[in-house]
Structure 1
Amino acid sequence: MSSSSTFRSVPQTADVVIIGGGVMGASAAFHLAEAGVTDVVVIERGELACGSSGKPIGGVRAQFSDPLNIELGSRSLRAYRDFPQRPGADIRLDTVGYLFLLTTDRQAADFEASVETQNALGVPTRMLTPHEARELCPYVTTGGLVAATYSPTDGHARPGLVVHGYADAAARAGVTFATHTTVTGIDTAGDRVTAVHTDRGRIDCAAVICTAGAWSGQIGDMIGVHLPVTPVRRQLAFTEPLSPPAPRIPFTIDFTSSAYFHNSDDGLLFGLADPRQPDGFDTTWTPEWLELFRDAVRQRAPDLADMKTTGGWAGLYEVTPDHNALIGRSGELVNFLYATGFSGHGFLQGPAVGEILRDLYLEREPFTDISPLGADRFRTGTETRPEAHVV
């Protein structure tokens, strides 16, 4: 794959400059190239997939409460199932389903309404009794459990394999990937972006797509476009190899605490969103957070509380004020597009959002109305209904 590590300067011109080489940038590059737009440069300040997309395992699901997120998740799930054929890569997709564990009547009522919405959109989610939840995931205890939801078509895959699968196909079509390249400024004239400056040279371009994840706010600030994205550290851990091996279980989430766990190679992966985690770009892995996880699962899956771990991973969520993504075209700069702020849902929506960015660039109607996700909603007060933010 061509990258700036093989040449000292970036191309002087491009039809499209994509800022950010994670799943969004790679998906956008692939979908543009497939549509014949191959004069594209993807700028990445580190290696591809080194930001949020570097997560070892990413969940993929269509279990959301609102139709738009359901649609983005569902369409992406189909693309992930087809990934071995298009673009042609093994992403280690494991369709084990997602199991949400519910501990209050209010949660059960809210999820029941969401299941109806999902079913109406073709997602085969169903409500389960506590006993049925335990049958799917033997680690779960039924005490204190009110209900659960399960969709068998959800699961998890490897984000790094997805990014490289998209990027390799895009590079074969002629897209340039400039890694270890930093954006230092952006030129504008009137209502248009005209050039992107990097530490390896300037690129005159006809359009810019910002898929810079947790760094998107800084890119927007260069041109006066408000992209309200806050970086928040999220951590996870891996158990030692288990003997006997762990049963094949769903991606299981205790909704009350946000603790989650699922299979990972020869053990389990543990995760939890620490509500007290301060904002910032720190990605140091600190084992102390595991005590929060252990405290949560002592109630819900007690066998996990004493399992030994062998290390972990820390990365950044890119969080917006309402935990919904920012996708659209700038109102002030007509050739500046953005897809960021996915608040933990980016990997599972990557394929669908790549299609949308392609269509916005080509001025075609996307498959769904993404106007509720425009970044200007925070100025106009038209916030979308917040998603329950879990993983």
Structure 2
Amino acid sequence: MSSSSTFRSVPPTADVVIIGGGVMGVSAAFHLAEAGVTDIVVVERGDLACGSSGKPIGGVRAQFSDPLNIELGGRSLRAYENFPHRPGADIRLDTVGYLFLLTNDGQAADFEVSVRTQNALGVPSRMVTPDDARALCPYVDTEGLVAAVHSPTDGHARPVLVVHGYADAAARAGATLATHTTVTGIDTAGDRVTTVHTDRGRIACSTVICTAGAWSGQIGDMAGIDLPVRPVRRQLAFTEPLTPPAPRIPFTIDFASSAYFHNSDDGLLFGLADPRQPEGFDTTWTPEWLDLFRAVARQRAPELADMTTVGGWAGLYEVTPDHNALIGRSGELVNFLYATGFSGHGFLQAPAVGEILRDLHLEREPFTDISPLGADRFRSAAATRPEAHVV
């Protein structure tokens, strides 16, 4: 069955309206539907997974430096491993591991601390030598490396397959997936959202969940809520099919430059975060950025520098000021929930965050304390200081 339908009009009422049909929105829809919430409408202005979730391969990992992100990543990794059974779809999960390449002692010292934190939380990451790194990934040149970090249980999967797996299961449970439907306004009364307006009609609702990715700031503005999310273009490229085929390698990252590469079908995928990329919604693929990648590759993985690429893809990161997500319930509007601003980590955290959104709606205690990720953490001290009382 198709997990997506184009509606002449949206249902006039819903218990929950989810704005955004990417991986975060459909994860929330699945987890809510699984918990017995039947009156769910997911509003998506294009097709499902047409935004950042449409990227060809998504990394999945629990290798982070702080316990909260480790917990979100680790719980999601377990959900992805179980995805063929719940909700029931092949997402082409390939547990090749993640390999971070470190080029100075400061990086190595920081990662040693992170590895201890990860190990304490059940993540089997470990520091390895440059020679170990080359054994794991034969493309790596060890010159200039001081150490590397490997976590064998990480890997990558296909975000589009995840989106449709969650969406199909949510639809089977009764959720409505209103694609090609644009949110045009949000009505509030007192401390509540009352209605979501779309170009296919209005929906009176009990709860709104904003999972609109890079567009979440605009949705927040409609409700009078500040969601400090900015769009930044990220680009990747694919090599031509390789002969002989590429060895099965970890998701390999040169930490200093952010350049990364890994298997993709019968070739490799290259990526790099251009530090000079201006903010904006432009998703034009411009192959000039590959010069930056090739310059790094000449040092770190020389064989890659001369490989022929055959096209690529550009999408948007949804970035917050501290590069951590916004997850929570609005302080101003008690029935407005949000999960956005994942700064490149949304796909790998989506299963866990779907659980959290379910629990927030049902007023249950989530599995972990997400208060550090509240959107109000960016307010200035002056704005949050209590008013002085005149005696």
TM bucket (normalised to shorter chain) is over 0.9
Paired amino acid for 1:259: A
Please name the residue that 1:83 is paired with: 83
1:333 aligns with 333
The answer to whether 1:158 aligns with 2:158 is yes
Residues in 1 aligned to 2:348 and 2:380: alpha-carbon distance in whole angstroms: 28
Q: What amino acid sits opposite 1:370 in the alignment?
A: I
Alpha-carbon deviations, 1:125-163, whole Å to 9, x = none? 000000000000000011000000000000000000000
**Alignment check: 8 A CA contact 1:234 1:316 kept:** yes
Hey, what does 2:287 align to over in structure 1?
A: 287
Matching of residues 349-360 of structure 1 within 5 Å: 349-360=349-360
Name the SS of the counterpart of 2:375 in structure 1: coil
Distance (whole Å) between structure 2 residues aligned to residue 54 and residue 281 of structure 1? 15
Structure 2 residue aligned with 1:96: 96
Give the SS at the match of 1:277.
coil
Residue 208 of structure 1: SS of its match in structure 2? strand
Distance in 1 between the 2:182 and 2:5 partners?
11
Describe the shift of the 1:2–1:84 C-alpha distance in structure 2 as closer, same or farther (beyond 3 A). Answer: closer
CA distance in 2, matches of 1:147, 1:260: 16
1:60-113 deviations in whole A, cap 9, x for unaligned? 000000000000000000000000000000000000000000000000000000
Alpha-carbon separation, structure 1, partners of 2:381 and 2:321: 12
Structure 2 CA distance for aligned equivalents of residues 303 and 326 of structure 1: 39
Asked if structure 2 preserves the Cα contact closer than 8 Å seen for 1:4 and 1:10, the reply is: no
SS, match of residue 143 in structure 1: coil
Amino acid at match of 1:243: T
C-alpha contact 2:3 2:167 (8 A) present in aligned 1: no
Judge conservation of contact 1:17–1:41 (CA < 8 Å) in 2.
yes
Preserved CA contact (<8 Å) 1:115 1:126: yes
Q: Provide the rounded CA distance (Å) in 1 between the counterparts of 2:48 and 2:242.
A: 32
Q: Does 1:9 align with 2:9?
A: yes
What SS does the corresponding residue of 1:76 show, helix, strand or coil? helix
SS at match of 1:338: strand
Given the superposition, is the C-alpha separation of residues 28 and 381 from structure 1 closer, same or farther in structure 2, using an over 3 Å criterion?
Answer: farther
What is the one-letter code of the residue matched to 1:115? V
What TM-score, normalized to structure 1?
0.97
Aligned residue in 1 for 2:66: 66
Could you say which residue in structure 2 is the equivalent of 1:225?
225
Please give the per-residue CA displacement for 1:230-276, whole angstroms capped at 9, x wherever unaligned. 00000000000000000000000000110000000000000000000
Distance 1:93-1:3 versus aligned 2 partners, 3 A rule: closer
Q: CA deviation at 1:224?
A: 1.1
Cα shift at 1:371: 0.1
Instruction: Mark the CA change 1:14 to 1:120 in structure 2 (over 3 Å): closer, same or farther.
Output: same
Residue 179 of structure 1 corresponds to 179
Task: Note if contact 1:328-1:374 (Cα within 8 Å) is conserved in structure 2.
Answer: yes
Equivalences, count:
381
Distance 2:235 2:46 in 1: 20
Query: Does the aligned pair in 2 maintain the 1:97–1:154 contact within 8 Å?
Result: yes
Q: What percentage of residue pairs aligned between the two structures are identical?
A: 87
Q: 1:38 to 1:19 in 2, by over 3 A?
A: same
Is 1:241–2:246 an aligned residue pair?
A: no
After superposition, the CA RMSD in angstroms is 0.9
SS at match of 1:32: helix
2:350 alignment partner, SS class: helix
The code of the aligned residue for 2:36 comes to G
Unaligned runs of at least 5 residues, structure 2: 383-391
Question: Which residue number corresponds to residue 34 of structure 1?
Answer: 34
Cα deviations by residue, 1:19-39 (Å, 9 ceiling, x for unpaired): 000000000000000000010
The DSSP-based 3-state class of the residue aligned with 1:109 is: helix
What is the CA–CA distance in structure 2 between the aligned matches of 1:22 and 1:146, rounded to whole Å? 39
1:1-391 correspondence to structure 2 within 5 Å:
1=2, 3-5=4-6, 7-379=7-379
Q: Secondary structure at the match of 1:339?
A: strand
Find the residue that maps to 1:214 and give its secondary structure: helix
Q: Deviations over 1:45-68 (max 9, x none)?
A: 000000000000000000000000
Amino acid at match of 1:311: G
Secondary structure at 1:376 match in 2: helix
Question: Is 2:23–2:162's contact at 8 Å kept on the other side of the alignment?
Answer: yes
Taking the aligned partners of 2:177 and 2:378, their CA distance within structure 1 comes to 33
Secondary structure, aligned partner of 1:15: strand
- Secondary structure at the aligned position of 2:235 is classed as strand
Distance verdict in 2 for CA 1:381–1:171, change over 3 Å: farther
CA distance in 1, matches of 2:251, 2:265: 14
Do the aligned partners of 1:184 and 1:197 also contact (CA within 8 Å) in 2? yes
Match of 1:385 in 2: none
TM-score by length of 2: 0.97
Task: Tell me which amino acid in the other structure corresponds to 1:288.
Answer: E
Secondary structure, counterpart of 1:298 in structure 2:
helix
Runs of 4 or more off by more than 6 Å in structure 1? none
Q: Deviations over 1:262-296 (max 9, x none)?
A: 00000000000000000000000001000000001
**1:334-356 deviations in whole A, cap 9, x for unaligned?**
00000000000000000000000
**Aligned-partner Cα distance in 2 for 1:259–1:343:** 16
Shift of 1:381: 5.5
Q: Give, in whole Å, the separation in 1 of the partners of 2:245 and 2:82.
A: 29
Amino acid across the alignment from 2:328: G
What is the rounded CA distance, in whole Å, between the counterparts of 2:257 and 2:219 in structure 1? 34
Letter in 2 for 1:140: V
Deviation string 1:181-227 (CA, Å, 9 cap, x unpaired) is 00000000000000000000000000000000000000000111000
Q: Is the 8 A contact 1:73 1:348 kept in 2?
A: yes
Q: Using the alignment, how far apart are the partners of 2:129 and 2:3 within structure 1?
A: 52
Secondary structure of 1:290's match? helix
